Chains A and B, each alone.
Chain A
Amino acid sequence: MGTVEWLKHWLFTTDHKQVGLLYFFTSLYFGIVGAVLALLMRVQLSVPNNNFLEAAYYNQAVTMHGLIMIFWFLSPLGIALFNYFVPLQIGAKDLAFPRLNALTYWLFLAGGLMAVFSFFVPGGSAAAGWTSYEPLAGPLYSPGPGPTLTYLGLMLMAASVTVGSVNFVATIFWLRKPGLKLMDMPMFTWFALFTILAMLFAFPSIIAAFLLVLTDRLIGTVLYAPPSVLGVPGIDPSLLWDDLFWFFGHPEVYIVLLPAFGVIANVTPAFTGRPLAGKSWILWSTAAIVLPISFGVWMHHMFLTGIPSILQEVFDASTEVISIPFGIIVIMFVLSMVKGRIQFKTPFLFVVGALVLFTIGGVMGVFLSSPVLDRVFNGSYFVVSHFHYVMVGATIFGLFAGIYYWLPKMTGKMYSEKLGKLHFAVSFIGFNVLYAPMMLLSDMPRRIFTYQNIGDWAQLNGIATIGAFIFAGAQMIVAYNLLHTWFRGAPAGPNPWGSPDLEWSSPAGSPQAPAPELEPVGGWIGQLSPAPPAAQAAAPPAAASYPAAGHALHLSSRPLTLSAGVMLFLTGAALYPGLFPLALMAVGVAIAAYSLVAWAWDDIRDRFKGPAEEADGNRWPFDAVPKMKVGMWAFLSSEIVLFGTLLGAYIFIREAALSWPSPSSIHDIPLATANTLVLVSSGFTMAMAVHAIRKGDQRGLLAWLAATFVLGSTFIGVKMSEWVGLISGPTPFIPGSANPVTALAASVYYVIVGLHGAHVIAGLIILVYLMARTARGGYTKESHMTIENFALYWAFVEIVWCFVFPLFYLL
């Protein structure tokens, strides 16, 4: 197959296995970047008073190490496995929305490229720690385009995750093969479900938090402005950031961890020769306790911020409570070894390693749950040790178990067991040499680029650095092993582990995989490597080359171009002012707009054919609910958290501020009220539109859609004139106002009302598409799901306004 075809194949694919492989290799790349940053830091810290890496560079390294490892390595590695194996495990042909899936990959890559690129702009990248505390991360103390680029890249990743979680929710609930009940799903898919549900509800909070950072940096709002600059009595921007960030931040660490637990739960039975102990206890523990309570422990990151003692006690208690289900889960895993017939293959070694390291890290977490003990540990290397034990120890070792376990499936070849065991041994030793000394460094602050020669800091740091290089060196072993397997591995056979799970049931994936002539033996990677002669002879003749047509592989260039356009636009925005950035922005908008229109046109022409759905697949508990509606509700629930977090921030600010301008002194309330009535009426017309098409009345549908469009546009038009009025005049209501309270009030007003307006405008654009499709007779009485789903979205936008209007105009 020619290079051009090969390129098109990989750049435009929407097939879940290939997207999974793209995620896999890209996350490994970012993992290497993060590891290099870590090694640079460890070299700098190996001896006291070192000057290998100056403070400014060190701070960039520590910040980007954290961000890249968490957002562009650990989670995407889990997502890679989700992409590849969740559909196989439930017997689905692909994810529910294949093009959206490809989009999540390209957005992830775009965001990561922006983050890496930020190193090379004047001033360097973000340097305020991955926790990006304000006001340090704001425009005053971290000036320059670098941090902006980093944070914009992070927003792309967050958008990617949100779209992806909607996709997986719809897939897991809707595309299971007939007879596969939820309780029968393999453990990995269960943990995938838990992870994505957590992502759905957690990521909007980080989007909200960073949205405010970005408006501060890009358009001059003062939401996190320090008191030395703004000085609104009572206002505490640092605490606002703390709350918004950690509300996301804590569930995030479980989001990172759960895929590894899913691997452990899935992989263990294959090597113990007995079923998992207490499978339902594990599931209930995770679902009923870890997930909900993970959203109720975040203030244990804020014990030292001066919150009232009672709150410290409450969050101490909630954090301790959350360790109980983890205890249950770990003990169930231990019990799963009892009375088994255990084979010490590489995946299993990594499982055991992960459990040991998680236990150590988890116990350290209990220490940190105490506000009193935290007075010593906060901001010290004890914390660094704790989270690396769970994030690297448990998560990476767990994911390695999965990689080794599924490598035969992905490549059709078997890895070298000896090298695998060596990799495990050296990794385990290196890991502990690196992180155990840090447990003793509870008086050494984090994120310092150098230290004086006091106590045993020099020795402990030196040992840790040695451990870092051993640990990094161990990864050379697995890299070699992977490459060796790819090119020279022995064929693995269809099910080397004898697992009953669905993904092994044929050499080329599940029975519902694309037809055999499209799926080469050994998976797609196997096709690229020289196959051993025996396997090749057994392969169907047509498997010798990739399928020719794009149709069967569901190729689409739109996800790639859309992501590229958005990336160019945001990069330009970060680098602005200048002619070149402006050009970037223009080109980016053009490409993105073209992609969106082309995507929609593809739909109007029904050009993209995703895999057909099972007619009677198992869909409990959404039996009566169509796939797109599940997707839409998942999306809306994340939007609820997004707007809710922003409105919550607003309420927090209002509560804290000692004085606030009264709405009647700023806004034209009768006008706003009239505008509200306009929006409310548009909700009514939209409901009538749905009513019309349910009766099969296409002309009525078009009429009501048009009415909705007119009313929506009026709303926006009136709002724009309202804003013109606000920003002109003798005392303009703008973030740049001389009066600090006005500046703050204006900042929060424009961000929230603006975000709502953007949602309205997006709705109007979609309305145009809907009207175009209706005019061509695209919707009938039987098939008009899109209209119903859009009505849900429009109603949601109205609900948001139900709260925004009184909060900003009346109270």
Chain B
Amino acid sequence: MLTAVVAEVITFYSVASPDAQIAVISTLATSQAVAVAVFYMQLKDEPGSIRLFALVGVMFLAALLIAMVASLG
């Protein structure tokens, strides 16, 4: 399953496209991560409170990243 996804990632980098690469690879990476979290870590089985632990951290990080990059203005 995930092995296939990784294979896709490699294929894509070889095809030399510019910044569209970033978008595609980020999407792939994020979906990989989510897949691992949901299935391997069985997040889908856990009550919402556990999911909160994962999500809150990610939200704070998003705020940090957005502000940091914006400050480069």
Consider the complex of A and B and state whether they touch directly, i.e. have CB atoms less than 8 Å apart: yes
Query: A residues engaging B (CB < 8 A)?
Result: 201, 205, 239, 243, 247, 295-296, 299, 302, 305, 307-308, 310-311, 621-625, 629-630, 633-634, 636-638, 640-641, 644-645, 648, 651-652, 655-656, 669, 673, 676-677, 680-681, 683-684, 686-687, 791-792, 795-796, 798-799, 802-803, 805-807, 810-811
A-B contact pairs, 21 of them (CB 8 A): A201-B57, A243-B67, A623-B47, A625-B46, A634-B53, A637-B53, A637-B54, A640-B54, A641-B60, A645-B61, A652-B69, A677-B6, A680-B6, A683-B2, A684-B2, A684-B3, A687-B40, A791-B41, A799-B32, A799-B36, A805-B9
Known: A308-B71, A683-B36. A625 touches B47 (CB 8 A): yes
Separation of A629 and B26 alpha carbons in the complex (Å)? 29
| Cα-based distance from A299 to B22 in the complex (angstroms) | 28
Q: Which of B6, B32, B67, B69 is in CB contact (< 8 Å) with A651?
A: B69
Chain A residue with the shortest CB-CB distance to B16 = A664
A548 to B53, CA, bound (A): 42
- Flag if B37 contacts A806 (CB, 8 Å): no
Chain B residue contacts of A810, Cβ below 8 A = 9, 13, 21, 25
The smallest beta-carbon distance between B39 and chain A, in angstroms, is: 8
Question: Assuming the A-B contacts A622-B47, A637-B53, A795-B36, are A811 and B25 also in contact, with contact meaning beta carbons closer than 8 angstroms in the complex?
Answer: yes
Interface of B is mostly: helix
Q: How far is it, in angstroms, between the C-alpha of A656 and the C-alpha of B73 when the chains are bound?
A: 10
Bound state CA distance, A281 and B8, in angstroms?
51
* Residues of chain B with a CB closer than 8 A to A638's CB: 57
Q: A311-B67, A633-B54, A644-B58 are in contact. Are A655 and B33 (CB under 8 A)?
A: no
Task: Indicate if the CB atoms of B61 and A299 lie closer than 8 Å.
Answer: no
Contact A795 B64 (CB under 8 A): no
The 3 A-B pairs with the shortest beta carbon distances in the complex, nearest first, are: A644-B61, A308-B73, A640-B57
How far apart are the CA atoms of A661 and B60 in the complex, in Å? 30
Asked if B57 and A641 make an inter-chain contact with CB atoms under 8 angstroms apart, the answer reads: yes
Q: Are A201 and B69 touching (Cβ within 8 A)?
A: no
Q: Which residues of A contact B46 (CB under 8 A)?
A: 625
Q: Is the CB of B40 within 8 A of A644?
A: no
B residues in contact with A634, CB < 8 Å: 53
Chain B 37-73, CB-CB to A under 8 Å as 1, else 0, gives 1011100001111100110111011011101111111
Contact B65 A651 (CB under 8 A): yes
Could you tell me the distance between the alpha carbons of A736 and B11 in the complex, rounded to whole angstroms?
A: 33
Taking a contact as CB atoms under 8 Å apart, the answer to whether B9 and A806 are in contact is yes
Q: Are A201 and B60 in contact (CB under 8 A)?
A: yes
CB-CB nearest in chain B for A791 = B40
Cα-based distance from A310 to B73 in the complex (angstroms): 10
B2 touches A799 (CB 8 A): no
Task: Say how far B72's CB is from chain A's closest CB, in angstroms.
Answer: 6
Q: A625-B50, A791-B40, A795-B41 are in contact. Are A307 and B73 (CB under 8 A)?
A: yes
Q: Judging by beta carbons under 8 Å apart, are B69 and A673 in contact? A: no
Q: Which residues in A have their C-beta under 8 angstroms from that of B50?
A: 622, 625, 629-630, 633
Given contacts A644-B58, A811-B25, contact A656 B72 (CB under 8 A): yes
Q: State in angstroms the CA–CA spacing of A781 and B37 once bound together.
A: 23
Bound CA–CA A687/B29 (angstroms): 20
Which B residues are in CB contact (< 8 Å) with A680? 2-3, 6
Q: Is B56 a contact partner of A201 (Cβ separation < 8 A)?
A: yes
Chain B nearest CB from A311 CB (Å) reads 6
For A296, the closest partner residue in chain B by CB is B63
Alpha-carbon gap, A792 to B38, bound state (A): 11
Complex Cα distance A205/B32, Å?
25
**B72 touching A802, Cβ below 8 Å:** no
Nearest Cβ on chain A to B8's Cβ, whole angstroms = 11
Chain B residues positioned under 8 Å from A307 (CB to CB): 70-71, 73
With both beta carbons as reference points, the residue of chain B lying nearest to A204 in the complex is identified as B57
CA gap between A206 and B40 in the complex, in Å: 30
Which chain B residues lie closer than 8 Å to A247 at the CB level?
A: 64
Among A637, A802, A807, chain B packs the most CB atoms within 10 A around the CB of A802
Contact of B64 with A243 in the complex, beta carbons under 8 Å: yes
- Distance, CA A645 to CA B29, complexed state (A): 17
Contact A239 B71 (CB under 8 A): yes
- The answer to whether A648 and B41 touch (CB under 8 A), given A624-B47, A799-B33, is no
> Is the beta-carbon distance between B69 and A655 smaller than 8 angstroms?
yes
In Å, the complex CA distance between A795 and B70 comes to: 32
A469 to B41 alpha-carbon distance, docked (Å): 57
Q: Given A644-B61, A810-B25, A683–B40 Cβ distance below 8 Å?
A: yes
A680 to B6, CA, bound (A): 9
Interface centre among B6, B58, B64 (most CB of A within 10 A): B64
What's the minimum C-beta distance from A640 to chain B, rounded to whole angstroms? 4
Task: Judge whether B33 and A803 touch: CB under 8 Å.
Answer: yes
Whole-angstrom distance from the CB of B22 to the nearest CB of chain A? 6
Give me 8 other A-B pairs in contact (C-beta within 8 A), A201-B60, A810-B25 excluded: A311-B70, A311-B71, A622-B49, A625-B46, A644-B57, A677-B6, A798-B36, A799-B32
Q: Give Cα A656–Cα B68 distance, bound, in whole angstroms.
A: 10
Are A806 and B3 also in contact (CB < 8 A) when A243-B71, A247-B64, A652-B69 are? Answer: no
Which residues of A sit under 8 angstroms from B60, Cβ to Cβ?
201, 295, 641
Closest CB-CB distance, B64 to chain A, in whole Å?
5
Write out the residue numbers on chain A whose beta carbons fall within 8 Å of the beta carbon of B41: 791-792, 795-796
Contacts A640-B61, A687-B40, A795-B36 given; does A655 touch B72 at CB 8 Å: yes
- Using A296-B63, A680-B2, A680-B3 as known contacts, say yes or no to A811 and B21 having CB atoms under 8 A apart: yes
Closest residue on chain A to residue B2 by CB atoms? A680
Please indicate the chain B residues that have their CB under 8 angstroms from the CB of A795 in the complex. Answer: 36-37, 40-41
Of B29, B39, B54, B56, the residue contacting A803 (CB under 8 A) is B29
* CB neighbours of B6 from chain A (8 A): 673, 676-677, 680
Contact yes or no, B61 A648, CB < 8 A = yes
Task: Give every chain A residue within 8 A of B26 (Cβ-Cβ).
Answer: 806
Q: Min CB distance, A250 to chain B, in Å?
A: 12
Give Cα A687 to B41, complex, Å.
Answer: 9
**Which B residue sits closest to A315, measured CB to CB?**
B67
Q: Which residues of B contact A651 (CB under 8 A)?
A: 65, 68-69
A636 touches B53 (CB 8 A): yes
B21 to chain A, nearest CB (A): 7
Minimal beta-carbon separation of B38 from chain A (angstroms)? 10
Contacts of A299 in B (CB 8 A): 67, 71
Alpha-carbon distance between A469 and B10 when the two chains are bound, in angstroms:
68
Which of chain B's residues have a CB closer than 8 A to the CB of A669?
Answer: 10, 13
Could you tell me the distance in whole angstroms from the C-beta of B23 to the nearest C-beta in chain A? Answer: 11
Q: Which residues of A contact B28 (CB under 8 A)?
A: 806
- Chain B residues with Cβ under 8 A from A798's Cβ? 36, 40
- The complex places the Cα of A792 from the Cα of B60 at a distance, in Å, of 22
* A802 x B25 contact (CB < 8 A): no
> Per a CB cutoff under 8 Å, which of B21, B29, B47, B65 touches A648?
B65
Interface contact B47-A621, CB-CB below 8 Å: yes
Q: Give Cα A792 to B54, complex, Å.
A: 12
In the bound complex, how far is the Cα of B65 from the Cα of A648, in angstroms?
A: 6
- Residue numbers in B under 8 Å from A243 (CB-CB): 64, 67-68, 71
- Residues in A whose Cβ lies below 8 Å from that of B56: 201, 637
Q: Which residues of A contact B36 (CB under 8 A)?
A: 683, 795, 798-799, 802
CA gap between A656 and B61 in the complex, in Å: 18
What B residues does A683 contact at CB under 8 A?
Answer: 2, 36, 40
